[in-house]
């Protein structure tokens, strides 16, 4: 069965898009049919893989057209991308859908995603309508959080939103896990955040942590995942370990 990961956090700058790109590339490199969906109007997942966002053609989730007409193949065999849209009409339509339109989008997602082994949905840094649609279409939610003083800020609120969707769709959505990003073991604050998050959330926090690594920050400007840009870097090694941790714990 397809595993659909909603990669979400209402805070920006926590490594959400980098995590979505890196995991998608890692899953594809394991010979899995993988799709990365860019639902963030900033379209960073799209540009981070070297593609241009859509500016004129209607997004398939707005037009209701098959994904096959819009999905592009990336440099990595087995990794497809549904690019984000910077068309203001698309953005407004996706963020202001009514209940009936939301149901149609959800049905389309459920139908289209069956052709893949793994799907990762990169969401906007908010708990708005797009993120809630993504959560409703997913089987698991991944939450990257930065090792900083305000790491827990808003996280509890996000967990509550996820729990409500889990109650509405029992046996459909579960916690994939929380991943600590920008981890600097030389800082006492990093260890304090690590301890606090693990004590509060327990087993849903991944053992793997993503280190602070300049190569991770540089890779999107080259249109490459960290696994291709700097495969021997600490960041690449960490994302490979995270992929293995997820693959070894099927949903």
Average pLDDT over residues 61-86: 92
Compare 102 and 210 and report the one with higher pLDDT.
210
Q: What is the pLDDT of residues 79-121, one digit of tens each?
A: 999 999 888 788 788 877 788 888 899 999 999 999 999 999 9
At 46 the pLDDT is: 96
Cross-strand partners of 79: 34
Q: So what's the pLDDT on residue 95? A: 79
For residue 75, what pLDDT band results from cuts at 50, 70 and 90? very high
Question: pTM for the whole thing?
Answer: 0.94
**Band (49; pLDDT cuts 50, 70, 90):** very high
Segment 144-199, tens digit of pLDDT: 999 888 777 778 778 888 888 888 776 688 889 999 999 999 999 999 999 999 99
Q: What is the pLDDT of residue 59?
A: 84
**pLDDT in the model for residue 182:** 94
Interstrand relation of 3-7 and 140-146 (parallel, antiparallel or unpaired)? parallel
What's the pLDDT at 171? 67
| CA neighbor of 2 nearest in space, from 43, 23, 32, 41 | 32
Look at 202 and 94; give whichever has higher pLDDT: 202
pLDDT on residue 230: 97
Which domains can be identified in the chain, with CATH numbers?
A: 3-247 (3.40.50.300)
> What is the rounded (10 degree) CA torsion for 107, 115, 246, 185?
-80
pLDDT in tens, 21-39: 999 999 999 999 999 999 9
How much is the mean pLDDT over the chain? 91
- In angstroms, the CA 66 to CA 58 distance is 12
Share of the chain above pLDDT 90, in %: 64
Q: Is 5 helix (H, G, I), strand (E, B) or coil?
A: strand
Q: Tell me what the mean pLDDT of segment 62-88 comes to.
A: 92
Axis crossing angle, helix 99-112 with helix 129-137, rounded to the nearest 10: 40
């Amino acid at each position: 069965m397809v595993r659909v990961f909603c990669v979400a956090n209402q805070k920006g700058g926590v490594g959400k898009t980098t995590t979505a790109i890196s995991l998608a590339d890692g899953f594809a490199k394991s010979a899995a049919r993988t799709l990365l969906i860019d639902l963030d109007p900033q379209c960073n997942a799209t540009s981070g893989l070297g593609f241009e966002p859509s500016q004129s053609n209607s997004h398939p989730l707005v037009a209701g057209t098959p994904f096959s007409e819009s999905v592009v193949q990336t440099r990595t065999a087995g990794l497809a991308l549904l690019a984000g849209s910077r068309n203001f009409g698309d953005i407004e339509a996706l963020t202001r859908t009514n209940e009936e339109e939301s149901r149609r989008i959800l049905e389309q997602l459920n139908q289209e995603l069956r052709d893949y082994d793994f799907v990762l949905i990169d969401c906007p840094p908010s708990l708005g309508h797009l993120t809630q649609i993504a959560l409703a279409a997913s089987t698991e939610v991944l939450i990257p959080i930065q090792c900083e003083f305000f790491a827990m800020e808003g996280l509890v609120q996000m967990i509550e939103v996820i729990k409500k969707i889990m109650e509405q769709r029992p046996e459909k959505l579960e916690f994939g896990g929380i991943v600590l990003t920008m981890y600097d073991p030389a800082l006492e604050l990093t260890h304090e955040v690590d301890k606090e998050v693990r004590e509060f959330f327990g087993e849903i926090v991944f053992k793997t942590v993503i280190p602070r690594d300049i190569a991770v920050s540089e890779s999107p400007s080259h249109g490459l995942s960290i696994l291709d840009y700097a495969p021997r870097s600490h960041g690449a090694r960490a994302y490979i370990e995270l992929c293995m941790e997820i693959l070894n714990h099927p949903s």
